[in-house]
C-alpha cells in the first residue's frame, strides 16, 4: 500500500512538471505579442536613426553649398565645383575686383584726368592773354595731333606708368584697393600688356576728339564724323557689358591685353 502511494506521488510530480514545461495557448500569444512589440520598437528606432543620418547629411550638404558660394564670391572666377580644373595657388591668392570697386577707381582716376584738363585750360587762358591773336592749329590732322598730345597721350602715360610700376595701380586703383595682374594671376602683367591695355582704353577718347574736331571745324564728310563718334560710344558700352557678364569682370581692354583687375593683398 505504501509503495502504491509513493508511485502515485511520483507520477503526479512528473505530470506537474510536464504541465509547467508545456505553455498554454495564452502564454504563446503573449510571447508573440511581446516579440511583435520588440520588432516594432526596433523598426521605429532604426527609422529615427535613418532620419537623423539624413538630416545630418542635408545639413552638411547645405554647409558645403554655403562655403562654396562664399569661396566663389571671395575668389571671383575660381570654380571649385569642378574637379577637372583645380585652381592654382596664383588663382587662390588673387580675388577678382568687384564691379563697384572698379567704378570707384575709374571715377577717382577721372578726377585726376579732369584736374589735368583744367590745368591745360588755365594755361590756354593765360596764353590767350599773352598772345591775343593766338596760335592754334586749324587743319584737322593738326587738331587731332594737338588733342592727342595734350590729353590722350598724358592720360595713357599716367595709366601705363602707374599700372606697370611696383604698385601695379593708378591713384584711383590704389585708393580702391585694386591692382592689375596678368590673366593667369601672376604678380605683374608686364609693360607691353599694360601699354596695350591702356591703348585700347583711351582709344574711344581719341575717336571722340576726331569726330568733335571735324564737327567744330566744319570739315569732313558726315560719315567721317559719324563713324568715329559712334565708335567712341559703342566701344565703352561693349566693354562695360563684357565686364558685367564676365566672372572675373574683365573689360574689353583686359581681354585684348590678357590682364585682370584684382583686389590688392590685405583688402
Instruction: Please report whether residue 83 resides in a domain.
Output: no
Q: Which of 207, 202, 116 is nearest to 152 (CA)?
A: 202
Query: Looking at residue 132, what is its pLDDT?
Result: 63
**Per-residue pLDDT reduced to its tens digit, 74-132:** 444 444 344 344 444 344 446 777 778 888 999 999 999 999 989 988 887 887 777 76
Instruction: Please report whether residue 80 resides in a domain.
Output: no
Query: Looking at residue 10, what is its pLDDT?
Result: 47
The answer to whether residue 211 scores a pLDDT higher than 60 is yes
Same domain, 139 and 218: yes
| Alpha-carbon dihedral angle through residues 115, 233, 148, 121, given to the nearest 10 degrees | -30
Instruction: Please report whether residue 31 resides in a domain.
Output: yes
**Per-residue pLDDT reduced to its tens digit, 134-186:** 566 678 888 888 889 999 999 999 999 999 998 899 999 999 999 999 887 66
Residue 71 to residue 229: CA distance in whole angstroms: 42
The torsion region of residue 76 among left (phi > 0), alpha (psi -120 to 50) and beta comes to left
Instruction: Please report whether residue 189 resides in a domain.
Output: yes
Query: Looking at residue 56, what is its pLDDT?
Result: 60
Query: Looking at residue 37, what is its pLDDT?
Result: 66
Average pLDDT, the chain: 75
110 and 186 Cβ atoms separated by less than 8 Å: no
- Where are any strands of DSSP class E within 45-195? 178-182
DSSP string, 100-140: HHHHHHHHHHHHHHHHHHHHHHHHHHHHHHHSSS-----SH
Same domain, 192 and 60: no
Same domain, 41 and 101: no
Total count of domains within the chain: 2
Same domain, 56 and 115: no
Same domain, 67 and 100: no
Same domain, 71 and 152: no
Query: Looking at residue 227, what is its pLDDT?
Result: 94
Query: Looking at residue 240, what is its pLDDT?
Result: 92
Of the residues 23, 48, 75, the one at which a domain ends: 75
Query: Looking at residue 254, what is its pLDDT?
Result: 93
Same domain, 66 and 175: no
172 and 112 Cβ atoms separated by less than 8 Å: yes
Query: Looking at residue 241, what is its pLDDT?
Result: 93
Same domain, 8 and 119: no
Same domain, 41 and 161: no
Residue 145, domain extent = 89-263
The answer to whether residue 54 scores a pLDDT higher than 80 is no
Query: Looking at residue 111, what is its pLDDT?
Result: 93
Of the residues 75, 100, 119, the one at which a domain ends: 75
Of the residues 75, 107, 124, the one at which a domain ends: 75
Long-range contacts of 191-196 (CB under 8 A, 24+ apart): 191/160, 191/164, 193/257, 193/258, 193/259, 194/159, 194/160, 194/163, 194/164, 194/257, 194/259, 195/160, 195/164, 196/256, 196/257
Task: State the pLDDT confidence band at 218, using cuts at 50, 70 and 90.
Answer: confident
Same domain, 69 and 114: no
Residue 175 to residue 64: CA distance in whole angstroms: 34
Instruction: Please report whether residue 110 resides in a domain.
Output: yes
Better-predicted residue by pLDDT, 49 or 227: 227
Query: Looking at residue 248, what is its pLDDT?
Result: 84
Instruction: Please report whether residue 27 resides in a domain.
Output: yes
Task: State the pLDDT confidence band at 188, using cuts at 50, 70 and 90.
Answer: confident
Instruction: Please report whether residue 255 resides in a domain.
Output: yes
Instruction: Please report whether residue 84 resides in a domain.
Output: no
pTM above 0.75, yes or no: no
Query: Looking at residue 249, what is its pLDDT?
Result: 86
Same domain, 69 and 169: no
Amino acid at each position: 500500500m505504501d509503495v502504491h502511494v509513493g508511485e502515485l506521488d511520483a507520477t503526479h510530480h512528473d505530470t506537474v512538471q510536464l504541465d509547467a514545461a508545456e505553455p498554454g495557448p495564452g502564454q504563446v500569444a503573449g510571447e508573440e505579442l511581446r516579440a511583435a512589440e520588440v520588432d516594432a520598437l526596433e523598426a521605429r528606432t532604426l527609422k529615427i536613426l535613418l532620419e537623423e543620418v539624413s538630416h545630418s547629411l542635408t545639413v552638411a550638404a547645405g554647409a558645403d553649398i554655403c562655403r562654396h558660394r562664399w569661396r566663389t564670391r571671395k575668389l571671383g572666377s575660381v570654380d571649385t565645383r569642378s574637379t577637372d580644373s583645380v585652381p592654382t595657388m596664383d588663382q587662390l591668392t588673387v580675388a577678382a575686383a568687384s564691379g563697384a570697386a572698379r567704378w570707384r577707381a575709374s571715377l577717382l582716376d577721372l578726377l585726376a584726368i579732369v584736374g589735368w584738363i583744367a590745368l591745360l585750360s588755365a594755361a590756354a587762358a593765360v596764353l590767350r592773354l599773352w598772345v591775343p591773336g593766338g596760335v592754334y592749329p586749324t587743319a584737322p590732322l593738326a587738331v587731332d595731333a594737338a588733342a592727342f598730345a595734350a590729353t590722350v597721350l598724358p592720360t595713357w602715360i599716367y595709366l601705363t606708368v602707374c599700372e606697370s610700376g611696383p604698385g601695379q595701380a593708378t591713384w584711383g586703383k590704389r585708393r580702391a584697393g585694386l591692382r592689375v595682374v596678368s590673366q593667369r594671376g601672376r604678380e605683374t602683367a608686364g609693360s607691353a600688356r599694360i601699354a596695350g591695355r591702356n591703348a585700347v582704353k583711351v582709344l574711344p577718347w581719341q575717336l571722340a576728339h576726331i569726330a568733335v574736331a571735324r564737327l567744330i571745324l566744319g570739315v569732313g564728310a558726315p560719315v567721317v564724323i559719324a563713324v568715329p563718334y559712334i565708335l567712341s560710344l559703342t566701344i565703352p558700352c561693349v566693354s562695360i557689358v563684357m565686364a558685367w557678364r564676365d566672372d572675373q569682370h574683365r573689360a574689353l581692354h583686359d581681354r585684348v591685353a590678357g590682364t585682370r583687375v584684382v583686389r590688392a593683398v590685405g583688402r
